[in-house]
């Protein structure tokens, strides 16, 4: 059964993005996904999505280190817009910097922090948590 119908993947690294997509495809709870290469593109994507579908995606998997607009900047601009404040966001980062993990706790809409590489096992655990 599909629980997360529309998923945004915000990730600049193509290999990482590929691994995420492959993992998502292996799990029934996840539906279609959209890939954006940085935060700026993702914001535009969100706006386009809501115009077309009249709502928000069910989950955003967000990388931290990206060019143009990184993960934190993306989160900051979401906070400013109330229409996006209810989207569930999981940070997906290769970072093992404890500072990044601490920082993510300050964003209310961030409901998880997963370290790369993303595996089917990790994703299944996440589904249980959300």
Site residues for another protein per CB under 8 A: 13, 15-16, 19, 22, 64-65, 94-98, 100, 115-119
* The pair of three-digit structure tokens given for residue 76, joined into one six-digit string: 């900051």
**Closest approach of Cβ 63 to another protein, in Å?**
9
Distance CA 64, CA 86 (A): 20
Place of tokens 């500072």: 99
Nearer to another protein, 15 or 129 (CB): 15
**Closest approach of Cβ 66 to another protein, in Å?**
11
β-strand partners of 113: 91
Nearer to another protein, 13 or 29 (CB): 13
The SS3 assignment for 65 reads coil
Nearer to another protein, 19 or 41 (CB): 19
**Closest approach of Cβ 114 to another protein, in Å?**
11
> What phi, psi does 98 have (nearest 5°)?
-60, -25
């Amino acid at each position: 059964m599909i629980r997360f119908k529309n998923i945004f993947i915000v990730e600049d690294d193509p290999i990482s993005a590929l691994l995420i997509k492959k993992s998502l495809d292996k799990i029934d709870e996840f539906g279609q996904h959209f890939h954006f290469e940085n935060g700026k593109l993702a914001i535009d994507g969100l706006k386009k999505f809501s115009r077309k579908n009249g709502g928000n995606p069910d989950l955003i998997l967000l990388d931290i280190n990206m060019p143009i607009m990184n993960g934190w900047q993306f989160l900051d601009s979401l906070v400013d817009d109330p229409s996006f404040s209810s989207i569930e966001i999981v940070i997906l980062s290769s970072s093992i910097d404890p500072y990044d993990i601490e920082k993510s706790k300050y964003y209310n809409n961030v409901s998880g922090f997963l370290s790369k590489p993303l595996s089917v096992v990790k994703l299944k655990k996440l589904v249980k948590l959300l």
